[in-house]
Structure 1
Amino acid sequence: MKRAYSPKEIAKRTYKTLPFGGKWAAAFGSPEENSTWFISGASASGKSSFVMQLAYELTHYGQVLYLSYEEGLNQSFQERMLRFDLDKKQGWFRVVTSDTVEDLTERLKRRHSAKFIIVDSFQDAGWEWPETKVLLETFPKKSFIFISQEAKGQPLGKPAVRLRYRAGVKVRVVGFRAYCQGRFNPDAGNSFVVWEEGVLRTTNNF
């Protein structure tokens, strides 16, 4: 029979959290280092720019591996990488474009492998929910950040819907603002401004 935990045992547990500060803490609180993130948003909402800014922030806490399935290494990906100074993060930021789940599993088993894994996008990765669940359970000390496409304001595909329920940090990017909808949300009214000029344009507040 599997173990049952008492309230006292649970209360004594400690968790290693991301030491966010400033606008990151205001929008996302202090999530666990190994949290699963689920980031969604419509096309042209600022989602990709937000993810690059998040990747830069995470390089302060560990190595970031970016799985660029949707864009590969095209010009727009390159421009965003340069715009948010990730070219200055040599040794802390790496990009792959065609890893299968099996390839990624082998990569993450290596010593000194990445702590944060960004999957962009989950739909273009082509993974089903069972193999995604196995991946998360195989590497419980790592943080997976999944980027999801949307259809009519909802995650595209049943595997993405299942994944969203599993994620501890849920983020939706709307009008160049990223809103935390997950368990670590410090204030439902807060948001992370992805692009100030874009916010002004979408709100007609010039």
Structure 2
Amino acid sequence: MAKRAYSPKEVLAKTYKTLPWGERWSRPFGFPTTNEAWFVSGASASGKSSFVMQLAKELCRYGMVLYCSYEEGVSQSFKERVERFKMGEVQGRFRVATSDTYDELVERLAKPKSPHFVIVDSFQVAGWSYDQTKQLIDRFPAKSFIFISQEHKGQPMGKAAVRLRYISGLKVRVVGYKAFCQGRFTEDPGSYYVVWEEGILRTSNNLG
């Protein structure tokens, strides 16, 4: 059976629920839909982990967040970020999973009142194929998946990660404690999210 094709009128009539966040977030990232896929990459010590925790806290304002901490677990450094960004303030909307298999995560997300935002950190350590990941996104179309990627020579590590980046609506790269949006939503390509102001100054001084 042939699949449906939309007319321009039908496309223009569509409406979407977007994140109603403030200027600090909307300027670099626009107003993405609440079920958008994110792809966040960055080199080690770039501020990526701090950015992700800040993003997680902001998303807690709009729904339950599940942080799949496959790479770090609940290590000392992870605990320090939880303390630094006062994640206790969103106690009721923030959960951390460290060892869910793919099937266990699917089972968790299929339950009533399951998390709306799912952070996968990192995609490489999760060990999923591109096809598995695409199936996960398609199975839960109302949820937002945020994939955190390792890098090699400035590019996402592994072919699956490169493919995943292409289909993600929000592509974010963290460099020198600045998070830049390379996706479809930003209206100000030169803007960035300040992850750590002092870190930016230190990086600039070192470069100078």
Q: Distance in 2 between matches of 1:123 and 1:143?
A: 19
Q: How does 1:95-114 map to 2 (within 5 A)?
A: 95-114=96-115
Report what 1:57 is aligned to. 58
Amino acid at match of 1:147: I
In structure 2, the residue matched to 1:24 is 25
Q: What residue ranges of structure 2 are gaps of 5+ in the alignment?
A: none
Quote the Cα distance in structure 2 between the aligned partners of 1:15 and 1:88: 29
Distance (Å, rounded) in 2 between the aligned partners of 1:17 and 1:142: 12
Post-superposition shift, 1:22?
2.0
How big is the shift at 1:88?
2.0
Instruction: Tell me, in whole angstroms, the C-alpha distance in 2 between the residues paired with 1:147 and 1:60.
Output: 21
1:190 and 2:191 aligned: yes
Cα separation, 2, equivalents of 1:15 and 1:121:
28
**Corresponding residue for residue 125 of structure 1:** 126
Aligned-residue offset at 1:204: 1.1
Q: Does 1:8 align with 2:9?
A: yes
Identity across matched positions, percent: 65
Quote the Cα distance in structure 1 between the aligned partners of 2:101 and 2:62.
Answer: 26
Look up the match of 2:152. 151
Q: In 2, distance between residues paired with 1:186 and 1:72?
A: 36
Aligned with 1:91: secondary structure? Answer: helix
Amino acid of the residue matched to residue 57 of structure 1?
E
Equivalent in the alignment of 2:70: 69
Distance 2:61 2:49 in 1: 20
Q: In 2, distance between residues paired with 1:174 and 1:202? A: 10
User: Post-superposition shift, 1:45?
Assistant: 0.2
1:81 aligns with 2:96: no
- CA offset at residue 67 of structure 1? 0.2
Unaligned runs of at least 5 residues, structure 1: none
Give me the TM-score of the superposition, normalised by structure 1: 0.98
Query: What do the CA deviations read for 1:11-40 (whole angstroms, capped 9, x no partner)?
Result: 000000000112101111100000000000
Q: List 4+ stretches of structure 1 deviating above 6 A.
A: none
What TM-score, normalized by structure 2, do the two folds share? 0.97
Task: Note the aligned Cα RMSD (angstroms).
Answer: 1.0
* CA distance, structure 2, for counterparts of residue 75 and residue 157 of structure 1: 28
- Aligned partners of 2:151, 2:72: CA distance in 1, in Å? 16
Equivalent pair of 1:41/1:153 in contact (CA under 8 Å):
yes
In the TM superposition, what whole-angstrom CA distance separates every residue of 1:54-92 from its partner, at most 9, and x where no partner exists? 000000000000000000010000000110011221120
SS at match of 1:170: strand
